[in-house]
Structure 1
Amino acid sequence: MGYSSKSSQQGLVLVFALLVLLSITVLGVSSVSSSILQGKMASSIERKSISFDAAEAAIAGVVFESEDESVLTDPALTDPLSEARQNPAIDLDIEKLSCFDNNRIDRTMTKNGAVFGQQQNGAVKFSENPEVNSWSRTAFVQEQACRGSSNVIGGSNINCHVFIVRGCGQTAGSKYVVANTLTAAVFAPATNQ
């Protein structure tokens, strides 16, 4: 009888040991899975952050080029707002300015940054590690009376020309584009319509 009791106790200890080993294995696998998932999430957040920076840089590039005196005074070059003004206005109630509109004014932002005296349309990447593209789309929205400026320019032949600039950033291999938008109103001579 003593032998059967001892064998029963050893079997019970073996089952208990296997249960403890199984629990530790499940905890280990769970920890590894959680770590891998957290690493992927951190990488995704980092890529989105870099793409957002690229989108912001693309918007800044449009503003930079639109204020660059050497572009504005060179008859061979046109800034993105003046180019957009030559196209039909976008109706924001019907369409949205997309990062993939082909009929809008396109500018890029490279890792070299904005350069005085030229259009920002280089082919170099915004970032190489990770590889990131940065571009903008600019569209004319409408011409309207300037609000809040009637005391300053009242009675003159000046209107506000409203533009929308969409900055876009995308990391290589990603199917998602991060975008941001700037609406700009520029004083300009009123067109006679």
Structure 2
Amino acid sequence: MIEMASPAGAVARPVLPGPGDESPEVAETLDTPLGPVTVRLFGVASGAVPAYAWLADGEEPPPATVPVVVGRRGRWRLHVDLARTPDVLTIVGPVDAARRQAAALIAGLDEAGVGVAVVRDAMDGVPVPGARRLSRFPAPPAPGRMLESTFVVLATDAPAEARHLAAATDGHAVPVIMGEVPGGRWSIQLR
């Protein structure tokens, strides 16, 4: 099992659950460019590297398929691999604030080679340069078919099948549902 030190210096729960081990949970209040948020990560999809890591300024992040920094606490930043979400990431709060938070969150994805797809008017009024526009939420690929690229799907609502998109694509298509929605196992709660 891998353990990580949190900003307070305490050892966090293991981030790679072993057989019979409970899924790790992180529930932290963090600072973002748009103000404080509460980040909750409960459970992870399987993988060989940590799903998240507290990193000091200047420290290199671990390998990740869909890397994002979800917030900071002092000189520490919480680096998360969205590909390890067990289903979806929710950004919970008023839809306009959730859109701004989503835009801040995905600002670094282009640099990591991760595309963004926007369903209908999910980011209405908030620019997302280079994003693909979709008329409906994407269906998982047929069994045995691979995706052409890795991407995050931004939506304000989604069909029930959205929960299976990340698992069906091995984390290469990650749904981010935002607005006045129920918090998922992975969520960012706006204050």
* TM-score bracket for the superposition, by shorter chain length: under 0.3
More helix by share: 1
Please identify which structure carries the higher strand content.
2
Which structure: larger Rg? 1
TM-score of the pair, normalised by structure 1: 0.23
